[in-house]
Amino acid sequence: MSITSPLPGRAGSVDFVDGYTRLFGIVGHPIRQVRSPQTVTFELRRRGINAILLPLHVLPEDFDSVFPPLLKLANLDGLVVTVPHKTAVPRHLDGIGPLGKFSGSVSILARTSDNCWVGEMFDGTGCVQALQKHGIGLTGQRILLLGAGGAGAAIAAALARTQPASLHVKEPDNGRRNRLRARLTGAFPALVLPDGMPQLDEIDVLINASPVGMLDADRMPIEVDRIPAHVAVLDAIMDPEETRLLHLAKACGCRTVPGRDMLDSQIVSAVDFMMATRTLQLGEVAYPT
């Protein structure tokens, strides 16, 4: 932060915010753990845009009364949505992208030039991009996905787009698992969705989208004590950065991708989407593919 000392008799001033600053926000509860304020603001500034992404702490019980009025702030250009509000957003939007529709949740909102608000779910795309950035191929590969909740559904849809050889979904809640499998089959008829649990040496990529291991470095989302070295492992969990699953994978010589890389990968494409949408009318919005 740079601050300028005041002239005699004059108020001092900072150089990172003024009346022209465009606003972006991240809406969540709790809010202190978020990193978008630092990282998305960096990306906006890197592009020469006078803008800040702020933490906007909205309590769950206030969401439906606070969120729609917030969208009326005339200098607000985009929002990131995080826990627990992702599934509450779609009902307040004028348009929603295909992954948002599929997962019933939205992580990035953008304002159109005709002052409508549209959104899309970027969490799955972030997972795919993080794997690609680590040189881990998905097309033609055999993937095992742990977890069929909100994050799992978004990741499954993004994975399906990459045309893997097969996608196993493991989820302790059978009803949830079957619902996701049915929706995947409907949306991606060519996707191979084997039933049952594979051996780890029958898969190429292992992705944890379940909460098991979050804030608990002792728990494992899958009961194994060895992972074949050819399996690439991504854990969507942010905290701890090295989960027990990733620790084991590293020890076994696997390539590993931490959850934070998933989030970092979304930043550029989310800012691309928000800035491009600002110049388009509702009917012209292009969702990332």
Spell out, one character per residue from 130 to 159, where the chain touches a copy of itself: x when CB under 8 A holds, - when not: ---x--------------------------
Residue 259 in the binding site for a copy of itself (CB under 8 A): no
User: Site for a copy of itself (CB under 8 A): how many residues?
Assistant: 56
Of residues 215-234, those binding a copy of itself (CB under 8 A) = none
Minimum distance of a copy of itself from residue 128's CB (angstroms)? 16
Pairing verdict, β 95-96 and 205-208: unpaired
Which SS3 state, helix, strand or coil, does residue 75 take? coil
Minimum distance of a copy of itself from residue 77's CB (angstroms)? 11
Cα–Cα distance, 76 to 84 (Å, whole number):
21
Contacts of residue 159, defined as CB under 8 A and 6 or more positions apart, other chains included, come to 124, 127, 128, 138, 143, 145, 167, 207
Minimum distance of a copy of itself from residue 127's CB (angstroms)? 15
Minimum distance of a copy of itself from residue 20's CB (angstroms)? 5
Which residues form the catalytic set? Answer: 86
Distance of CA 276 to the CA centre of its chain: 19
Pairing verdict, β 108-111 and 76-81: antiparallel
Which residue has tokens 């939007």?
93
When binding is defined by CB under 8 A, the residue of 94, 98, 264, 275 that contacts a copy of itself is: 264
Cα–Cα distance, 223 to 69 (Å, whole number):
47
When binding is defined by CB under 8 A, the residue of 47, 75, 241, 251 that contacts a copy of itself is: 75
Closer residue to a copy of itself in complex, CB, 116/263: 263
What does the DSSP assignment read for 235-267? E---SSSS-HHHHHHHHTT--EE-HHHHHHHHH
Taking alpha carbons only, the member of 126, 180, 112 closest to residue 148 is 180
Of residues 5-64, those binding a copy of itself (CB under 8 A) = 6, 9-21, 23, 29, 31-35, 37-39, 41-43, 45-46, 52-59, 62
Cβ–Cβ < 8 Å for 264, 240: no
Chain contacts with a copy of itself (rule: CB under 8 A): 1-4, 6, 9-21, 23, 29, 31-35, 37-39, 41-43, 45-46, 52-59, 62, 65-66, 69-70, 72-75, 133, 260-261, 263-264, 267
